[in-house]
Chain A
């Protein structure tokens, strides 16, 4: 009988991941998905500052629980799940004075579900708006949209600036935005 050479079992190369590697992996996954998660939150959460708060909570939870993630491929689904949870938590914890001015929890829950399903499509449309449709606006249309995002302005004054009644102004803005959405769908579908 020959004992033969003692063979060492083939150790896998991925032993313990170093902190650095883990951080790199997290950051890569997070940044790849961040824009999409942020857009999702923003569609549901009323004010920019609140959306920012919610995003921060999401980021922290994703980082803290990153070890629990089985596979990198699940990151998107998992992070959207966390996002949905945090949006609902935000809505649930709204102070009484604030919640009167926001849609109800039931509605937000319903929308959270539908927006989760449609997230990818909406993201494509958002890209289309930014890269293509916005460029097709006439100068005054773009100007009106932009002015509405100006912190210093107020809508009645803007309506006046553009020579419309308040209701007329809102109609106008709504329609410009609707056209942008329609353009976006055409572009996104053509891809």
Chain B
């Protein structure tokens, strides 16, 4: 193919097309391209040609599933090969146990993806059914729910091998494992040994080289087992390390103290609310609230059933001004109040923060009138939840949050969570997040990195 292109300059619109396909256009330029495409059918034809070339190039150059490779070179191949390719789509539909094409059983679901980028031959879309296999999370956060009920929240970069409904292997990265009663005995293996869960929730952090695994029990108890055969029981707030030499000594911390989890060179602290979290309802009818949930429902100023959630983090032992990164994690859980269909497709939430002591003495039975309001608070985060989502881990990591925590010179912070969007009819759903006392999911967690 010749390379002697004519010297006359490329037309402006042609350039817009190629830049668009390379995702290198500004909003204004996109609008120009958009209009030109609508008005000019010859330009559209050029666009189709370029886009078609793009599909060919993608097939040629982009990493493919092994099955896909077979298909592109053997169009008229046998039924077996064709079916192997279809399997990757059909799996998501869940034709499980259909022996005709030997799908392996699904042992987990990809419960949620938050800005997650995956590398895996397993399906990686939210809601996908997962069978045994390897998954690499390159960025973001994701939650995998094993069919036993155990949930693993992964933070990139991480690599996990799904083994059975009751066992997974974290090869590297950080994870928090939540285990409900139905899955007691769930095992999380690591390169240096494994942990068996005996009740509720623990965090694991594996160093880059995969040789050291830190375990910390958030709730309940786990037992650690090294390949050598020794084992150690860890209770709530205790942590230990597994490495090539075996199991380290326990590090026992008092409940109020921060629980440091070492993450490569950085120090990351995870702080919980220690019970200081509650929902309030405008009419103060506590029958409409539940201690296990932090409930939120639109605030218009007059609906007696409006709710908002408040929670507080306190930490004296730390220099807040030295934080490099801050992240607030909430777990969205179903609470069964109201109807999902009466919600708009996207629900927007706002998170406000107040620094220092806000006058709340007791976090039990807090009344609407007594609670701090958003008037004097600072908006530190916003997020959206599609109405179809019933559960998942919500992470707020904004500049506003970081700046607020760094520059306020306080050791305690109170957050107010409200919902901005309303329902399309009455009885719309109340959104709920796990509070500290939720039986399955962990309550609000503030993560600080130094």
Contact = CB atoms under 8 A, between A and B. Distances in A.
Interface of A: 20, 23-24, 27-28, 30-32, 34-35, 39, 42-43, 46-48, 52-53, 55-56, 59-60, 63, 93, 95, 100-104, 106-107, 110-111, 114-115, 118, 122, 125-126, 129-130, 134, 136-138, 141, 145-146, 148-149, 155, 167, 170-181, 183-184
Contacts, number: 164
A27 B101 contact: yes
A190 B60 CA distance: 23
B316 interface: no
A146 B57 CA distance: 8
B53 interface: yes
Contact of A31 (B30, B85, B98): B85
B55 A42 contact: yes
Given A122-B52, A136-B1, A176-B1, 10 more contacts: A24-B100, A32-B82, A42-B51, A59-B92, A100-B30, A130-B59, A130-B72, A177-B53, A181-B52, A183-B1
A30 B34 CA distance: 33
Interface stretch (B17-25, B233-241, B289-297, B393-401): B17-25
- What band does the interface of chain B fall in when counting residues whose beta carbon is under 8 Å from A? 35 or more
B52 A172 contact: no
A28 B22 contact: no
Contacts of A172: 5
Interface of B: 1, 3, 5, 9-10, 14-15, 17-19, 22-25, 27, 30, 33-34, 37-38, 44, 46-62, 71-72, 79, 82-83, 85-86, 89-90, 92-93, 95, 98, 100-101, 123, 125, 345-346, 384
A24, A103, A148, A167: residue with the most chain B Cβ atoms closer than 10 Å: A103
Contact of B50 (A24, A126, A181): A181
B44 A111 contact: yes
22 contacts: A23-B95, A23-B100, A27-B90, A43-B48, A43-B51, A60-B93, A93-B345, A101-B23, A101-B30, A103-B34, A104-B38, A114-B44, A125-B49, A134-B60, A145-B57, A146-B61, A155-B22, A155-B24, A174-B14, A179-B1, A180-B53, A180-B56
A134 B14 CA distance: 21
A74 B376 CA distance: 63
B89 A55 contact: yes
A150 to B, nearest CB: 8
A103 B59 CA distance: 23
A93 B386 CA distance: 11
